[in-house]
Amino acid sequence: MTRFSAPGQRHILCVFPRYVPSFGTFEYAYELTDGVKAFMPPQGLLVIASVMPANWDVRFIDENMQAASTEDFLWADVVFVSGMHIQRRQIEDIRRRAHAQGKVVVLGGPSVSACPHYYPAFDYLHVGELGDATEKLVAILAKDISRPEQQVVLKTETRRDLADFPVPAYELAPIDRYFLGSIQFSSGCPYTCEFCDIPGLYGRVARLKTAEQILTELDVLLARGVVGSIYFVDDNLVANRHALKELLPHLIAWQKRNGYPLAFACEATLNIARSPDILALMREAAFETIFCGIETPEPQALKAISKQHNMALPILEAIDTINHHGMEVVSGIILGLDTDTLETGGNLLAFVERSHIPLLTINLLQALPGTPLWDRLEKENRLCENDDLESNVIFKLPYDDVLSMWRDCMGKAYQPKILFDRYRHQMRHTYPNKLPRPWSRQRLSPRNIRKGIHFLSKIIWKVGIRGDYKAAFWSFVLFSLSRGKVEPIIRVGLVAHHLIAFARDACAGKNNASHYSAKARTLELEGQIGS
């Protein structure tokens, strides 16, 4: 867990690009909080910041909170940027502003690692994960911070073991201004779903941190002011079930030692339902939400996209098993698959009703470079780079039919009364199975109480008094109070407001139909940044 070493001093500015508002990043909920400005701390840039030589000054700016200023760029010797394909335009905008001040700019992260050719104007490209390429980059910058005559591409040949990763530089980020905290235990996924780029980027054999690393990071996050929940950003938390079973008792002990100050959430394959022993331990560790890439309820579609593992158990049975252990399921859903028919939208809405899953991220299929889907569609001449369209895939169904199906599903699934009805089901059948977390001194701290009162007052004012779905909201409030529960009013109020508002704008054509699309949008929420 050592830093790199280099002589002299450098000023390193790490800039994380803005996201266009999306279903999964909860921008519409921020107005109901006490100053939340972004979704989760970006692990990648904060890890890179933490391995820089100790004698180098490092700053971090998340442009989801505030834009890097001219003064920030003037301070820097070198600007580091990282991001995903969906941030491609914002990545380029940061480069343009840094170059305008004559600064050398380095790009790393998943987008450039998959597609270096997307970024010909950057000075240095760091392709791959933390490792020997990072060491070479530090050595180069220690000697020379002038812009090279031509682009330099550094590719990681030897990755640093995750067990040798340092604690991300959380101290550089305003942790208490994020919607969730973030932490990573493993990297990689054994499955080869056709549309997913994770195996190609990070491998099929999960690489792991130690339990000691995770507990240290949790201690740091808690000290830095994280409140509420921490999301394990692992591509698939059950990629190595044996390792997870070894980790969970340590998480349980940490929670007990600290008075259960936080809830946990994660992403895992739906076949986690076949491991009730793991689910029982996750419940005791206060995992409350699992994101599962269900993608579609149609079996023929799951087979076509190499997602047969979703059928290890009947899907509704698997969801019920997870709910029985007190964990709410969040589902990824894809429309526009080759097997879709004009009945697929209706089948999806029927599944939403039967599963009672409140939050489903309903996306149009998007082909990512480096995936089996991309390779197949390229051979079939079915890739389309048209910024006026919501997907880069030429669907088998007419494009307008697929887009209409998506909007119909979004509009109906997130009608306020229907959404709150699904949350009522969770309160009856899932939440009572949660581990009863003690009302410890940590959870009842003055700061947490003030935060809860602030959230509740804003939700009541903006939704319950000024909102246009107040009848559905107050019906849920009365239902929650009748069961002696106040906390769900806050948590559900925040999330439901985002889902309803986002779905409305999506149906009006104001938001992208795929979380993975880099389609340009006017940043409707721009006024929230820096306010």
Q: Tell me how far apart the alpha carbons of residues 142 and 212 are, in angstroms, rounded to a whole number.
A: 32
Q: Using CA atoms, how far apart are residues 103 and 96, in angstroms rounded to an integer?
A: 10
Kindly report the number of other CB atoms within 10 A of residue 447's CB atom: 10
Q: Contact at 8 Å (CB) between 177 and 61?
A: no
Q: What pLDDT digit, counting tens, does each position of 196-249 carry?
A: 999 988 989 999 999 999 999 999 999 999 989 999 999 999 999 999 999 999
Contact between 134 and 118 under an 8 Å Cβ cutoff? The reply is no
What gap in Å lies between CA 412 and CA 524, rounded to an integer? 23
Distance in angstroms (rounded) separating the CA atoms of residues 40 and 149: 36
Q: For residue 525, what pLDDT band results from cuts at 50, 70 and 90?
A: very low
Q: H/E element holding 457? A: helix 446-459
Q: What type of residue sits at position 361?
A: T
pTM of the entire predicted model: 0.94
pLDDT tens profile 304-351 = 999 999 999 999 999 999 999 999 999 999 999 999 999 999 999 999
* Residue 519 confidence (pLDDT): 59
16-34 average pLDDT score: 91
Q: If we measure between CA atoms, which residue out of 324, 296, 48, 80 comes closest to residue 195?
A: 296
CA-to-CA separations, 50 to 13, 382, 416, in angstroms, rounded: 12, 42, 44
Q: How far is CA 17 from CA 41, 65, 377, 429, 522, in A?
A: 12, 10, 29, 40, 15
Q: Cα separation of 520 and 18, whole Å? A: 12
CA distances from 274 to 311, 312, 388 (A): 11, 8, 43
In eight-state DSSP terms, residue 158 is S
Length of the chain: 531
Domains and CATH numbers, the chain: 10-28+40-155 (3.40.50.280), 180-432 (3.20.20.70)
Q: Can you tell me the distance from the alpha carbon of 206 to that of 199, in angstroms, rounded to the nearest whole number? A: 10
